[in-house]
Amino acid sequence: MSPLAVHVTGARPNFPKAAPVIDAVARHDVAVRQRLVHTGQHYDERLSDVFFRQLGLPEPDVNLGVGSGTHAEQTAAVMVGLERLFLDERPDVVVVYGDVNSTVAAALVAAKLQIPLAHVEAGLRSFDPSMPEEVNRIVTDRLADLLFATSADAVAHLGNEGVPAERIHLVGNPMIDTLLAHLGAFDVAAARSRHDLSGQYAVATLHRPANVDDAADAEALVKTLHAVADQLTLVLPLHPRGRAGLEAAGLSEHPGIRVLEPLGYVEFLGLVRGSAVVVTDSGGVQEETTVLGVPCLTVRPNTERPVTITHGTNRLVTREDVPWQVEQVLAAGTTAHRVPPLWDGHAGERIAEVLVEAIA
């Protein structure tokens, strides 16, 4: 019987990373059985199901339906469900993506059952231990047998942490494979029409605890967003996380702010592609704007994706600095930028080659 690879996804950022890997393995000359697990960490249709349809992902073979909860509750529920599944299926490799709770849960279960583990997007580091994602990254990379890195700095971090060189593979960014494959579907005119946008506009995506959990932080962020909306229309597809706090702080009171429900992948990137500037605290959006050439202001003190600054359009900013940074971006207009090496649409194929060779 051909070897079995089980892909574990759980949250919106995982899906565009997994799609090109699953597709490339399916097209490989060596037959590999594949099972796709959706843990249900993101369970809202707008945060998960729509991605499967738009990205051409197969329907999940298993949906654990764990839902929300504290970090411990969510991670524990995923571990219990995956342990049963892995014992039944005995996969030859477990493939995990990114840095969400489902990722570290799958890594722990695979390690305890002595199943080889592959981590796609290994080696990213913010060096900020207050971020739950940073803990997830470090633990997952420590347990992984195959570590697929998106950039040279990620390779260096893994080497500095003592990961053997033969386990590390610089493959590029599979999320960019997905972006480039769907580039023609990112319809700026349709986005403008759908949201009644004329002239320049900005897009914001903000959900991290440091920006939205505390009432004082939410109030300061809303003040910043109002100042941006004084300059141009601000469109804000609002993640459920933190929505109540931002609305309570008066987010929608400014006439220049359009608060939207979360958008599908194609709709969101059509909106981003036509924007003058993006204000975010998302890791993936830093990468997508880098390739699309859209100026990105990241409201964080650090980033695990510094290549988006050295090669892309990204800048780290404080909340207080955002309004004048937007003013600078608007004054400067379009600027030249470089796309990081190997962000060329073929990362999924490079990952599949290593993965299949390792298990076949």
CB atoms within 10 A of CB 173: 31
Residue whose token pair is 């893994």: 158
Residue whose token pair is 């580091």: 125
Q: How many domains does the chain have?
A: 2
- 7 burial via Cβ count (<10 Å: 0-12, 13-18, 19+): buried
> So what's the pLDDT on residue 285?
97
CB atoms within 10 A of CB 80: 14
* Structural domain span for residue 238: 184-332
146 and 38 within one domain: yes
Q: What is the CATH number of the domain that holds 142?
A: 3.40.50.2000
**Contact yes or no for 64/38 (Cβ under 8 A):** yes
Q: Is the pLDDT of residue 50 over 80?
A: no
User: Tell me: the pLDDT tens digits for 241-260?
Assistant: 778 889 999 999 999 999 99
157 and 241 within one domain: no
CB atoms within 10 A of CB 79: 21
- Cβ contacts of 59 within 8 Å, gap of 6 or more: 36, 52
| Structural domain contains residue 178 | no
274 and 215 within one domain: yes
**Contact yes or no for 8/95 (Cβ under 8 A):** yes
Paired strand residues for 236: 259
| Structural domain contains residue 338 | no
Q: Give Cα separations from 2 to 89, 281, 328, 359 (angstroms).
A: 13, 42, 56, 10
User: Tell me: the pLDDT tens digits for 230-244?
Assistant: 999 999 998 777 788
**Contact yes or no for 62/47 (Cβ under 8 A):** no
The predicted model gives 198-205 an average pLDDT of 96
- Cβ contacts of 44 within 8 Å, gap of 6 or more: 240, 262
| Structural domain contains residue 115 | yes
State the DSSP H helix or E strand holding residue 48, giving kind and residue range, or none if neither. none
**What three-state secondary structure class fits 360?**
coil
| Structural domain contains residue 350 | yes
> So what's the pLDDT on residue 217?
93
User: Tell me: the pLDDT tens digits for 167-194?
Assistant: 999 999 999 999 999 999 999 999 999 9
State the pTM of this model.
0.94
| Structural domain contains residue 337 | no
Confidence of residue 46 (pLDDT cuts 50, 70, 90): low
> CA-to-CA distance for 208 and 210, rounded, in angstroms?
6
Q: What is the mean pLDDT of the chain?
A: 93
Q: Is the pLDDT of residue 49 over 70?
A: no
The predicted model gives 53-78 an average pLDDT of 85
User: Tell me: the pLDDT tens digits for 214-231?
Assistant: 999 999 999 999 999 999
315 and 293 within one domain: yes
Active site residue 207: yes
Q: Give Cα separations from 280 to 76, 235, 298 (angstroms).
A: 30, 12, 5
84 and 13 within one domain: yes
- 139 burial via Cβ count (<10 Å: 0-12, 13-18, 19+): middle
**What three-state secondary structure class fits 15?**
helix
Per the residue annotation, which of 119, 157, 207, 226 is the catalytic one?
207
| Structural domain contains residue 53 | yes
Q: Is the pLDDT of residue 45 over 60?
A: no
304 and 351 within one domain: no
User: Tell me: the pLDDT tens digits for 90-148?
Assistant: 999 999 999 999 999 999 999 999 999 999 999 999 999 999 999 999 999 999 999 99
> How far is the first Cα of the chain from the last one, in angstroms, to the nearest whole number?
11
24 and 120 within one domain: yes
> So what's the pLDDT on residue 209?
87
> So what's the pLDDT on residue 10?
87
